[in-house]
Amino acid sequence: MGAWPRVVVLGSVNMDLVTRVGRRPAPGETVMGTEFVTVPGGKGANQAVAAARSGAQVRFVGAVGADGFGVELTATLVAAGVDVGLLRRVDGASGVASIVVDAGGENSIIVVAGANGLVRELTDGELAAIAQADVLLCQLEIPVETVLVAARHARAAGTVVAVNPSPVRPLPDELWDVVDIAIVNSLEFEHYSTELGQVPHLVRTLGADGAVYRGADGEVVAPGRRVEVVDTTGAGDAFAGAFVARWGQGPEMALNWANAAGAVATTSLGASSSIPDRARIAAELDAD
Ligand code: RIB
Whether 180 is in the pocket of ligand 1, judged by its Cβ within 6 Å, is: no
Q: How far apart are CA 93 and CA 91, in angstroms?
A: 7
What pLDDT, in 10s, does the model give residues 217-263? Answer: 899 999 999 999 999 999 999 999 999 999 999 999 999 999 999 99
- The ligand 1 atom at the shortest distance from the C-alpha of residue 39 is 6
Judge whether residue 154 has pLDDT over 80: yes
Q: How far apart are CA 117 and CA 137, in angstroms?
A: 18
The CA-to-CA distance between both ends of the chain, in Å, stands at 28
CATH number assigned to the domain covering 6-12+42-97+116-286: 3.40.1190.20
pLDDT at 220: 97
Backbone angles phi, psi at 148, to 5 degrees: -65, -45
Please give the Cα distance from 141 to 237 (Å, whole number). 13
pLDDT higher than 90, residue 131: yes
**Which pTM value belongs to this model?**
0.97
Q: Does ligand 1 have an atom closer than 6 angstroms to the CB of 14? A: yes
> Where do the structural domains in the chain lie, given as residue ranges?
6-12+42-97+116-286
Q: Is 277 in the active site?
A: no
- Specify the pLDDT at position 28: 95
Catalytic residue among 177, 237, 277, 286: 237
CB count within 10 Å of CB 48 equals 36
Measured CA to CA, the distance from residue 31 to residue 6 in angstroms comes to 45
How confident is the model at residue 122, as a pLDDT? Answer: 98
| pLDDT higher than threshold 90 for residue 2 | no
Residues contributing to the annotated binding site for K(+): 231, 233, 265, 268, 270, 274
The pLDDT value given to residue 134: 98
Over residues 13-29, the pLDDT tens digits come to 999 999 999 999 999 99
Q: What percent of the chain has pLDDT over 90?
A: 95
